Each structure stands twice: as structure tokens, then as C-alpha cells.
Amino acid sequence: MNLLEQSWYQKNHWLSWLLLPLTALYWLLSTGRRLLFRSGILRRHQLPVPLVIVGNISVGGTGKTPFTLWLCQQLLAKGVRPGIISRGYGAKINVPTRVNTDSLACHVGDEPLLLARRSQCPVVVCPDRVAAARALLDQYPVDMIICDDGLQHYRLARDLEIVLVDGKRGFGNGLLLPSGPLRELPSRLASVDMVIANSGEVPQADYQMQISGNEAKNLLGKAPLLPCDVTLVAGIGNPQRFLLSARLAGFNVIGQRFFADHHQFTATDFAGISGPVLMTEKDAVKCQLFARDNWYFLAVTASFDSEQGAEIVTKITRLLE
């Protein structure tokens, strides 16, 4: 964790105070932009099918991808045909691009590639979410669109907003970027349809989600790895959660190399590691082209208690009535 991120999760850190003028500017620009959309001065684009936003008000990992995979599974089981749109963070994309299971993460983004491989749903990426949604509708007969990480993309009119919150880290110091980790203030949660806490308690949460990962799969399709000594390698928003997941799965972590979120891995990032490597599934999709025999990823799944899960699905499927 770099100095800036450290300041986000400490009270009265000197760097947070130093950055307050930039935070004030960020607040003015983001609040003004949102007001322009709410007043109708800037146009929102309505789609012919329901749009569900899965987003957050903070930077870093909050569990959006595991939740989206869970939601797609539940909708497919109900006979709903969902499609997914995403920005494709880290990839150089100018036009809507379809994500295939054999796409490269550097071309479409790591999270969209993971979603395409595991969700069994069509995925289209583009920084312009409106263009991505229209391309998805042109190419696939979907009943509903799930927008991954689009809470602040106000050009796209939405029918339901779901916000994921990290139950361990919460809102950090409660400040907006760059003094804190927040894209929007916690008061924004009062206007969304669902707040889901990931792996912890959050006072504003409507539902509690748990993330579990028990099987370490081989990147080259060989036998899975049983609990043993491993070195963790990750380029995600919250590597400490991955560290906890690995230990809960029974692995003894003897080393770790953590990089920035969405890091574009190369073989040199693994130099000097001789024993088994354990990474996240999101990182694994970027490393398969140069993977070694003893590289594994921890596959994680989201879950809810049966009553909460059924209630979430019911609220979403009602959009189709």
C-alpha cells in the first residue's frame, strides 16, 4: 500500500490535509456535473431494456465482480437473459468491443474478461457506457443490462442502483478523492436502491454478502493445489482481503508481491519466485500466456443467506414486469 492509500485509512493523516484543496475542487466538479444531469441540462440516455448499475462510492475492490457473477447466475436460472457492459479499465478502447472467452486482458480489461469467461453472458466494453449498451443490444437478444462499475456514469439512465461496500475498510477517512478513497460521499447511499456490505458490517447496508474461495486452480488446467506454502501475487484494489482469503483456504503465505490495481503483468514480475504462486482469478486472466506449471489462482464466489438472496433477485426481476 502506497503512502496515499495509507492516508485514506488513517484519521488526520498529514497528506489528507495537504490534499484538501484538490478535494474541494473534485467535489465542486463532481457535484456540479451530477446536478446538470438531474436538472436535465445534460441528457441522460434511456435504454429499451432495464439497466442495473453495480457500482461503489469508493475506489478499490469492494466485490463488484463476484456479485455480478452471482447475479448473472441467479438471473439465468430464472430464465432472464442478462448482458454486461463495462468500461474495460486498463485497455485502450475507443469503440464498443465484444469480449470473448479467448480475448486478451490487455485488449478488453481484466474484469470484463473474467466476467465473459464465468458469467455465460455477453459482455461489451467501452469507456462510453451508452455506446457499449447500444452495441450490446444490437448484437444480442438480452432482457436486461448490468453495468459494471457505472454508478458515476450519469449519461446512462438507470432503473436500479446497487452499491457494494467493503465491510472491512468501510469508507476510510470519509473524505473524497484525493484526500480520501471516496468518489461520492456516504450520503449518496440514501438515494440508491440497494447497499450490500461485503464481508463485514456496514450500518447503511441492506444486505450482507460473503466471499469464499477454497479451491486453488492451475492456470494451465492441471490438478488443483492443496494447502501448502505459497507466494501471493496480486494486482487488485484490496490485496489484504486476498491475503485473508488465502489463509482461510488453508494456505501458508511465505511471501507476497502486491501491485497496483489492474497491473499489467509480465513474466519479470515473478522473477525469483521458485515455489507455488497463488493469485486472484482477475490476475490469472492476464498471466496465462506466460504461466508456469506451479501458478494457481483462488477462485472466489459470492453468497447470501437464502432469504436475502431471494429478495435481491425478486427486486431485480420486477423490473421486467
Decide: helix, strand or coil at residue 207.
strand
Q: Which of 72, 59, 47 is nearest to 135 (CA)?
A: 47
C-alpha 69: how far from chain center:
10
Q: What is the pLDDT of residues 136-174, one digit of tens each?
A: 999 999 999 999 999 999 999 999 999 999 999 999 999
Would you mind telling me the total number of residues written for the chain in this entry?
A: 321
What cell was used for 216? Answer: 486453488
Q: What is residue 232's predicted lDDT score, i.e. its pLDDT?
A: 98
d(C-alpha 298, C-alpha 284), whole Å: 9
pLDDT at 60: 84
Q: Which among 254, 253, 257 has a CA at the least distance from the CA of 244?
A: 253
Domain 3-208+305-320 CATH (choose: 3.40.50.300, 3.30.160.150, 3.40.50.880, 3.20.20.70)? 3.40.50.300
Let me know: does 159 contact 50? Beta carbons within 8 Å.
yes
The predicted-structure confidence for 172-206, as pLDDT tens digits, reads as follows 999 999 999 999 999 999 999 999 999 999 999 99
Summarised one tens digit per residue, pLDDT across range 197-220 is 999 999 999 999 999 888 999 999
What does the domain layout of the chain look like in residue ranges? 3-208+305-320, 211-303
Report pLDDT for 1: 66
